[in-house]
Amino acid sequence: MALDFREDRTLSRQAMKAEMLDAETELALAYAWRDHRDVAALHRLINAYMRLAISMAAKFKRYGAPMNDLIQEAGLGLMKAADKFDPDRGVRFSTYAVWWIKASIQDYVMRNWSMVRTGSTSSQKSLFFNMRRVQARIEREAAAEGVEIERHQLHRLIAEEIGVPLRDVEMMDGRLSSSDFSLNATQSAEDEGREWIDVLEDEDGVGAEEVEGRLDNAQLREWLLVAMNALSDRERFIVRERKLLDEPRTLESLGNELGLSKERVRQLEAAAFQKMRKTLEAQSDEVQNYLA
């Protein structure tokens, strides 16, 4: 089932006009959806509690996300709650839905806070939404007592207060304190400064290994040309047709073209390879290491 998320003001007005469900009606709608997949019952249940979803979404406006998007995420959380709600547990749907609505909004805010993933564990989520509040309180209390708190002491107190590892506090503080920058921004104030995008590794390549491989291939091609030049025209023709084509020719087809037997072509090929090897070995010790 999809919700029609239009302008938040219009949706808010519609939500405020929705019916208020008593416990008995709410329970009947929940059973109708769970047991009979009654879409009309689901729609009625969700519309009745959209005001709750909108109210919770408004609490997250300070994180800079568009209100329409927050309402949409709240509505998705509400639908998840309706789909998973078990009326046999004896709790009101609104009490159950609060957790799903909040979780959906928080996940959206964290996903869109920065291009760099902020984290998704319970520890990181707790830090993201509580760290600044706890930090401000600790700093106010310290200031009232005339005490100056070092950064590492502040991190330790936050970790103890929220109940998370110290390293998570240090990591989250760094992420919340920094901003995303354009990859086209220069690394220095100089006009010809290198852009940050220039230092990113190409995902399609393998960095230094690829460069090294290209250099090696270039050197091997040079050695191959030297070795090929040491062959006779017929030997060079046989090697090229047998080893350097995408679809190598057979000994028989070369024999027919050269007027030789298949065995004779094989012998000429072997002799050509031996001659090439000797030529390469005479070049340098480096070539011998490649051929080893």
Per-residue DSSP letters for 217-277?
Answer: HHHHHHHHHHHHHTS-HHHHHHHHHHHSSSSPPPHHHHHHHHT--HHHHHHHHHHHHHHHH
Residue 8's pLDDT is what?
A: 56
Residue 116's pLDDT is what?
A: 44
Residue 120's pLDDT is what?
A: 55
Chain-centre distance for alpha carbon 143: 41
Mean pLDDT for all residues in the chain: 78
Say yes or no to pLDDT of 49 above 60.
yes
Say yes or no to pLDDT of 4 above 50.
no
Residue 36's pLDDT is what?
A: 93
Say yes or no to pLDDT of 259 above 80.
yes
Residue 143's pLDDT is what?
A: 84
Residue range 14-21: average pLDDT? 79
Say yes or no to pLDDT of 63 above 50.
yes
Residue 39's pLDDT is what?
A: 93
Say which residue the tokens 């393998």 belong to: 206
Burial track 281-292 (b if 16+ CB lie within 10 A, e otherwise)? eeeeeebeeeee
Residue 245's pLDDT is what?
A: 81
**pTM of the predicted model as reported, rounded to 2 decimal places:** 0.47
